[in-house]
Amino acid sequence: MSSSFTDCYDGSKIFSFLSNRIGLPIDLVNFLIAQIAALCLARLFRKPLRVASPEFRHMVCLVIGLLMGYFCFGKQAIHLSVLPMITYVLLKIFPQHIIGNIVLAVSIVYLSCIHLHRQIYHTADYTLDITGPLMVITQRVTSLAYSLQDNLIRKEINANSKGNLNDKNRIDKVPSPLEYFAYTLAFQTLMCGPVVFYPDYISFIECVRDDGMAKDKVGESEPSPRRAVIYKVAGSVAAALLYLSLAKKYPIKALEGLVDPTSEVSRSWSAVYLLWYAYLSTLVVRCKYYHAWLLSEAICNNSGMGFNGYDNDGTPKWDKMSNIDVFGFEFAQNMRVAIASWNKNTNAWLRTVAYERGGAAWRTARVYSLSAVWHGFHPGYYMTFFAGGLFTEAAKKVRVVARPLFLNSAISKLFYDSLTFLTTRVAMTYATVPFVLLHLSPSLAFYGRLYYSLHFLALGAMLLPKSRYAIASQTEPRKSNSKSIETNGEANGKLKIS
């Protein structure tokens, strides 16, 4: 471990001996220790703390979260408290009808300052820093503020209507300081999410099931999450092992050699091999996310959060706190499904605070812009989100035009599915390389080595004329029933990117 790394990292160095022995940076070692400890402590909420008062359960979540933050981030952990303090004051002093917009603006400015500080002073020094938890806290405080703002609108609608709104996500009043800070700093999801919306957190604290029934304090009215926890921990371990086995073979830093015309990458790699290497190196990066998100989800489930009712066959679902659908992403046949499978709770947050606000004409731009700023200011983020937005719109146009041509037989449909699967893999790899390279020069060199081919293809796809099949389907009369309207509304409301 270099001296510059040691000087920059503010977290605990108690386990430096373990870091040196296994060859992992101390920040990642501390992250693993903190998450394993959280997985074990989470079990307390389903057994001894099951009969404890909500106040005591709040306090335990808060204290463990604070200790975990200080262990991993040292003096930087002060930001974990400052941002919630500022936003809580805003909730108290500003009018409710604008509080969501105010909290979003202040939170993004605060987070942006921390992003810029890291980008200027600590670039590439270490992987784990305070911006990760601050990004999660930003999601929590803004979603809560917008719930309060929206509740005022619901009250006004209710006052002029005969019916009663029964929205399980409504928040009637500003939480108490204990409730607010325990929610924002709850240890289960502090390190890497997923974002937990306030009503779900309160239901967990007050032992209320997803279907609204109170959990039996003595018996077991909710199914055990043991199988889900074991499954997700196993998936997390598998992702970690895959990362360790491939990280040294396919490092993403090798693509930085594209900026040097004399390097082996520039001189001898063909475009096909470059794409293949980029796919494997970005897969390595994704494995880190899979490992962290699956482990965090297991922590939530082990504490009793995340129960989402039952399947049609009676199988309990523990996916309410799910942040990633690994197979859904890796085997997606189009960009929309791939994006919807990645960082799912962040997609829900973006839909709440950006997609559903303002006019419909700028929905996509608002979502991509907020997501980019929320991530930081490295040029690679903006290049990825621009490409992602372009490819998503182009893919929708191609699907409308081309898909009806392949529905005449099972063989042609299989060919279409195989082609779209391969195309999605190529497009997703092409789009996400700048996201992991971060910097402008290697990202432009990567696109330049491929002659910006997918950008031009996507722009060309936007000019495709509608096929006669697409025109016929649009002019064909549709049945108007409540079920179809509800389904279409849900599909249209899930524009997702993160």
Question: Which is catalytic among the residues 343, 345, 347, 378?
Answer: 343
Chain centre distance of CA 447: 26
* pLDDT in the model for residue 365: 81
- Measuring CA to CA, which residue among 319, 345, 290, 326 is closest to residue 228? 319
Place of tokens 């081309």: 402
CA 231/CA 334 separation, integer angstroms: 27
Tokens of 325: 């659908």
- Measuring CA to CA, which residue among 450, 19, 266, 259 is closest to residue 5? 19
Beta strands in 98-238 (DSSP E): none
CA 206/CA 200 separation, integer angstroms: 10
Q: Please say if 375 is a catalytic residue.
A: yes
Q: Please say if 378 is a catalytic residue.
A: no
- Measuring CA to CA, which residue among 274, 198, 215 is closest to residue 445? 274
| Amino acid letter for position 47 | K
CA 307/CA 120 separation, integer angstroms: 42
- Measuring CA to CA, which residue among 69, 48, 136 is closest to residue 346? 136
Chain centre distance of CA 308: 19
Residues 6+ apart with CB under 8 A from 195: 136, 139, 140, 143, 189, 345, 346, 348, 349
* pLDDT in the model for residue 428: 96
* pLDDT in the model for residue 497: 43
Question: Which is catalytic among the residues 58, 79, 115, 375?
Answer: 375
CA 416/CA 411 separation, integer angstroms: 9
CA 311/CA 308 separation, integer angstroms: 9
CA 486/CA 490 separation, integer angstroms: 6
Tokens of 367: 């979502």
Walking along the chain (498 residues) 10 residues at a time, the average pLDDT comes out as: 57 91 89 95 89 94 96 93 97 92 96 90 66 95 93 58 47 92 96 90 81 49 88 96 93 93 90 95 95 96 91 88 93 90 92 85 83 93 91 89 89 93 96 94 95 95 70 49 37 39
* pLDDT in the model for residue 491: 36
Tokens of 460: 């060309």
Q: What are phi and psi of 489, to 5 degrees?
A: -65, -40
* pLDDT in the model for residue 159: 47
Instruction: Count the helix, strand and coil residues of the chain and give each as a percent rounded to the nearest 5.
Output: 70, 0, 30
Tokens of 414: 């299989």
* pLDDT in the model for residue 360: 77
Q: What are phi and psi of 324, to 5 degrees?
A: -150, 135
Chain centre distance of CA 137: 13
Is the whole model's pTM more than 0.85, yes or no? yes
CA 130/CA 30 separation, integer angstroms: 13
* pLDDT in the model for residue 269: 93
Give the Cβ contact number of residue 11 at 10 Å. 25
Return left, alpha or beta for 309; rule: phi > 0 is left, psi -120 to 50 is alpha, else beta: left
The three-state secondary structure class of 260 is coil
